[in-house]
Structures are given as C-alpha cells and as structure tokens.
C-alpha cells in the first residue's frame, strides 16, 4: 500500500494525465507546492514500486497498478467533498478538510460514506430534511 505522501503524488499524476494527457515533474511540483527535486525522488520511488514508469527527460506514465490506485484516490477525494457538501460544511473549508482526513480513513469507512452519499442523492428531500435539523440545532445553540 502506498504511503499518504505517495498517494498525493499518484493522485496528482493521475489527474494531470487525465486533464492534459501527460504529467511533467514541473507540473506535479507546482500542483503539490513542492520542489521539483522532491518530485523526482518520489517519482523514482513510485517507479521502483511499479506505480509508474519513469525515464529521465522523457516523462512518466502510470502502470495499470498506478492507474487503478490513482482512479480510486480521485474517487475517494471527490466522494469526501460530496459528503462534506451534503452535510453542510462551509464550502470554503471543504478542500482543506478533505486533504486533512482522506489519508486517515479506512476504505471500509469510505465505502460507507459512499452509501450515505447515494442515500441522499437518491432522494433530495433527505438533504432538505437534514437542513431543517441543522437550522433547528443552530437556533437552539443561539439561545
């Protein structure tokens, strides 16, 4: 299993390849706000662990293993954003909150959150009912 740091790199590489068709060290460094030398070291480690194939000056491509992990990591991130949005977390906090929790949850927890998101998606009235409860609780807290 990749470490949280490895996951961040795999996720970012996957996103770049999906969006642009390629991922360069400089793009990864910019998106993760790290030095290119740090990216090069991690890319070499990911190559050794068979998540990607890297050739100096030629670029990198994800292996089937890397693509599978990348796709799952993007799913996890997007699912947690959806979940936090549904439960009413302030939009300005969602990205940072997801970044803070995504590496600390089991895949079992992620799957159960997926079930809950599906539950709310299947009937938008459930979200309205949740908002009513939240409104009532906020009013009680103000008293």
Residue 59's DSSP bridge partners are: 55
Residue 77, annotated as binding a ligand: yes
Residue 96, annotated as binding a ligand: no
CA-to-CA separations, 140 to 82, 128, 134, in angstroms, rounded: 27, 19, 10
Residue 99, annotated as binding a ligand: yes
Residue 103, annotated as binding a ligand: yes
Q: 């309205």: which residue's tokens?
A: 128
Residue 78, annotated as binding a ligand: no
CA 115 from centre of chain: 17
Residue 132, annotated as binding a ligand: no
Question: Among 5, 16, 8, 13, which Cα is nearest to 52's?
Answer: 13
Binding site for Mn(2+): what residues are annotated? 8, 11, 77, 99, 102-103
Binding site: what residues are annotated? 8, 11, 77, 99, 102-103
């Amino acid at each position: 299993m990749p470490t949280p740091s490895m996951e961040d790199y795999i996720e970012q590489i996957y996103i770049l390849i999906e969006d642009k068709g390629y991922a360069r060290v400089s793009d990864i460094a910019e998106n993760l706000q790290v030095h290119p030398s740090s990216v090069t070291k991690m890319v070499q480690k990911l190559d050794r662990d068979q998540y990607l194939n890297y050739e100096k000056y030629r670029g990198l491509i994800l292996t089937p293993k890397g693509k599978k992990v990348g796709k799952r990591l993007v799913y996890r991130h997007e699912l947690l954003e959806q979940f936090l949005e549904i439960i009413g977390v302030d939009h300005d906090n969602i990205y940072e909150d997801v970044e803070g929790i995504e590496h600390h949850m089991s895949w079992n927890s992620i799957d159960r959150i997926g079930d809950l998101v599906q539950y709310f998606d299947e009937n938008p009235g459930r979200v309205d009912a949740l908002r009513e409860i939240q409104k009532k609780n906020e009013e009680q807290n103000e008293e």
